[in-house]
Amino acid sequence: MRQYAIPCIISLLVGALYNIVDQIFIANASYLGSYGNAANTVVFPLTVVALAIAVMIGDGCCTFVSISLGKGQREDARRAVGNAVVLAAGSGLVLTALYLLLADQILAMFGGTVNAETILTAGVPKLQGLGMTFRKAEYITDFAEKVHTGAFDLHAVEHMSDEDAIRELSSLKGIGVWTAEMILLFCMQRPDIFSYDDLAIQRGLRMVYHHRSIDRRLFEKYRRRFHPYCSVASLYLWAVAGGAIPEMKDYKPSNKNRGSF
């Protein structure tokens, strides 16, 4: 039994050493600190479950394979390795699916709910301790205060038209028109968002349609063309602007100096 237990003991010691190093690293990181260690401690029971499954598959398989090979049962050993690979992939998929389905419930169970009340309780100094600037922490706290008092109805925005939602969101401190448009596109998944203030979208239009510049009139022409699926067009234009098609170039005139004085 001792020879079979040694691999398990070593793996547990390595896991414990990793956990110690991880805690030290998190504690010394200025953008994490004690809050990062607290979060790591909260999810530790879930980490133990994942490690237990890994140890069962890894060490258990290795032990069984060693025994099988010692007995000359190569087919059993080969089958055990195959089963371990399938179990490892399957357990990973199951744990990921459980997280995606139960993330909010798990966070709530451990007191990790993020809402207006918890943000206000934390306050600006603690938010800054998480790595954000004072100004951003102030904006977030102001937003939480308005949601808490009912001055801003977050749920009502979901039922507004694009124009009204952008107007309502951009009335908040720290949120401009472009930010509001990105919230509608990515967070609310609105299908018809096309931002004139987005320089990458303008670059994509220049590259695809060979324009030297994009003014408001030309931009509105393409908005009408892409309606009601402007969000899809935005995603493609971002990809083009980022170099997804190497053969395409930006037709914007160069600002390089043509001579020296």
Q: Which of 109, 63, 111, 61 is nearest to 83 (CA)?
A: 61
Tokens 């603690």 label which residue?
Answer: 126
Structure tokens, 252:
């914007």
Rounded to two decimals, the pTM is 0.60
Q: Which of 209, 205, 212 is nearest to 251 (CA)?
A: 212
Q: How many CA atoms lie within 13 A of 94 on its CB side?
A: 9
Cα distances (angstroms) measured from residue 180 to each of 171, 189, 214: 10, 12, 22
Encode pLDDT of 68-105 as tens digits: 888 888 888 888 777 777 777 777 677 677 666 766 66
**pLDDT beneath 70: ranges in the chain:** 1-5, 7-8, 11, 18, 22-23, 25-48, 51, 55-59, 92, 95, 98-100, 102-112, 256-261
